[in-house]
Amino acid sequence: MKIVNRLKMVSFLQYFIWGSWLVTLSSYMINTLHFTGAEVGIVYSANGIAALLMPSIIGIIADKWVVANRLFALCHLVCAGVLYYAASVQEPGLMFWVMLVNAMAFIPTIALSNSISYSCLEQNGLDTVTSFPPIRIFGTIGFIAAMWMISLFGFELSNMQLYIAAAASLLLSLYSLTLPTIPTSRRKKNQSWINMLGLDAFVLFKKPAMLIFFLFAIMLGATLQITNTFSNPYLHDFALNPQYEDSLVVKFPSILLSVSQMAEVLFILAIPFFLKRYGIKNIMLISMLAWALRFTLLAFGDPSPFGFVLLLLAMLVYGCAFDFFNISGSIFLERETSSDIRASAQGLFMTMVNGIGAYVGSVISGFIVDYFTADGVKNWNLIWLFFASYAAVLAIIFVFVFRYKHDSDKLPEMKTTH
């Protein structure tokens, strides 16, 4: 099998594992295990905690000491065992610790899988710029396939989703051992721990525009975690209404949510046009307004014919909300940072969004959901409108505090790193 096809398989399984439980585990915990919103938020905060340090630590180990694909295999072997055990856990506190161990092993493999792909492509004399995007697209396909599988087989409220993720992790662990060996120690030997951990990028905080940018990265990272954690339980709760209990939205909510991932692909392709025409600040502003619109659409959507259209639009808007900030933000850093700290700056950006932002979003959103819950019934209309107001206020503040002049001639070449 050609190396490109083998790497497509790695990408597919990598995101299939995540898609098996990321958007449905919250529904299982709320509806089957009867966890509160706050308890679910705490469990999901494990991803944010792991994203703070583990990618850097695992990256250093792969660079300096352990062959990358073997380290990748070890991480997924740990995930397989932990996810298998998680399927038997029924207590909120223990579930947090178990999923934290899983996150500490899994989150670093996202970056590690990219590094393995780049290295294998280079070893085979292939251009990474043209060869990697088609490989990464298979990750999105894997995520969608897992969501459809879990939904169609009726596993959204079952621990079977964790068993399936565990089996896929074990398969990927074994398969990764067949990949070409990745050389270690390409870094300069005199590089300090500060350099390797990416801490030198913190000098960017001295620039007001950069400080504001990273603060908004945290706050928008929170919105992403809100939608990852509670969109699926929201759709399941339509079953409480006898009018909707047999609707397709209630039976297959993950299939509807998968439209969000499909929309990502379309909006990624649209970014170069919008970026050239409107500039990075306006693109990031559009992202914030898109989050507000998504939450508003969710607030008024339902399984009725008109309400379903609103839900479908909410899924499509997700692509704009997610991609326009994450990718344009990456391009902003590419343009505004010097080459010696560019990689560190990108790592810091991901830490702010997927680390601090994800943690804050998970914890606070859980308490917000509980605040608008009475007698076990969640007022999703008010919950989503609260989050919509939050995103709208962010957009208004962003207009006045983020000072940046658009210059289309200096934009870097578009890179597909999502």
Whether residue 99 lies inside any domain: the answer is yes
Do 81 and 213 lie in one domain? The reply is: no
Residues 242 and 335 in one domain: yes
User: Do 134 and 220 belong together in one domain?
Assistant: no
Q: How many CB atoms lie within 10 A of CB 218?
A: 18
User: Which of residues 127, 161, 185 is at a domain's end?
Assistant: 185
Say what the pLDDT of residue 372 is: 96
* Residue labelled with tokens 């620039």: 207
Q: Please tell me the total count of domains within the chain.
A: 2
Do 337 and 374 share a domain, yes or no? yes
Q: What are 377's strand-pairing partners?
A: 374
**Domain assignment of residue 204, yes or no:** yes
Residue 13: the pLDDT is: 96
Q: Are residues 106 and 207 in the same domain?
A: no
In a domain? residue 190: no
Are 60 and 170 contained in the same domain?
yes
pLDDT at 192: 58
> Where does residue 372 rank: exposed (0-12), middle (13-18), buried (19+ CB within 10 A)?
middle
- pLDDT per position in the chain (418 positions), as tens? 689 999 999 999 999 999 999 999 999 999 999 999 999 999 999 998 998 878 777 776 776 778 888 999 999 999 999 999 999 999 999 999 999 999 999 998 887 887 788 888 888 888 776 787 788 889 889 999 999 999 999 999 999 999 999 999 999 999 999 988 876 655 445 555 555 555 566 677 778 888 888 898 899 888 988 888 999 999 999 999 999 999 999 999 999 999 998 898 788 778 778 877 888 888 889 999 999 999 999 999 999 999 999 999 999 999 899 888 877 777 777 677 766 666 567 667 778 888 888 889 989 999 999 999 998 899 999 999 999 999 999 999 999 998 766 555 454 444 433 3
Query: Is 246 found in the same domain as 320?
Result: yes
Q: Which domain holds residue 94?
A: 1-185
Q: Does 354 share its domain with 407?
A: yes
Q: Are residues 168 and 280 in the same domain?
A: no
**Whether 230 and 158 share a structural domain:** no
Would you say residue 69 lies in a domain?
Answer: yes
Q: Show which of 133, 167, 185 is a domain's final residue.
A: 185
Tallying the residues shown for the chain, one arrives at 418
Which residues neighbour 85 within 8 Å (Cβ) at sequence distance 6 or greater?
98
Which among 134, 152, 185 is the end of a domain?
185
CATH number at residue 177: 1.20.1250.20
97 falls within a domain = yes
On whether residue 114 sits in a domain, the answer given is: yes
- The 3-state secondary structure of the chain reads CCHHHHHHHHHHHHHHHHHHHCCCHHHHHHHHCCCCHHHHHHHHHHHHHHHHHHHHHHHHHHHHCCCHHHHHHHHHHHHHHHHHHHCCCCCHHHHHHHHHHHHHHHHHHHHHHHHHHHHHHHHCCCCHHHHHHHHHHHHHHHHHHHHHHHHHCCCCCCCHHHHHHHHHHHHHHHHHCCCCCCCCCCCCCCCCHHHHCCHHHHHHHHCHHHHHHHHHHHHHHHHHHHHHHHHHHHHHHHHHCCCCCCCHHHHCHHHHHHHHHHHHHHHHHHHHHHHHHHHHHHHHHHHHHHHHHHHHHHHHCCCCHHHHHHHHHHHHHHHHHHHHHHHHHHHHHHHHCCHHHHHHHHHHHHHHHHHHHHHHHHHHHHHHHHHCEECCEECHHHHHHHHHHHHHHHHHHHHHHCCCCCCHHHCCCCCCCC
pLDDT at residue 376 in the model: 87
**The pLDDT of residue 272:** 75
Query: Cα–Cα distances in Å, from 358 out to 135, 184, 281?
Result: 26, 31, 22
For 42, counting Cβ atoms within 10 Å of its Cβ (0-12 exposed, 13-18 middle, 19+ buried), the class is buried
Query: In Å, how far from its chain's centre is CA 150?
Result: 19
Structure tokens that stand for 400 in this block: 């006045």
Do residues 174 and 265 share a domain?
no
Residue 313 is assigned to a structural domain of this protein:
yes
- Half-sphere exposure of residue 58: CA atoms within 13 angstroms, side-chain side: 27
Whether 265 and 384 share a structural domain: yes
- Name the one residue in this structure whose structure tokens are 């609260």: 386
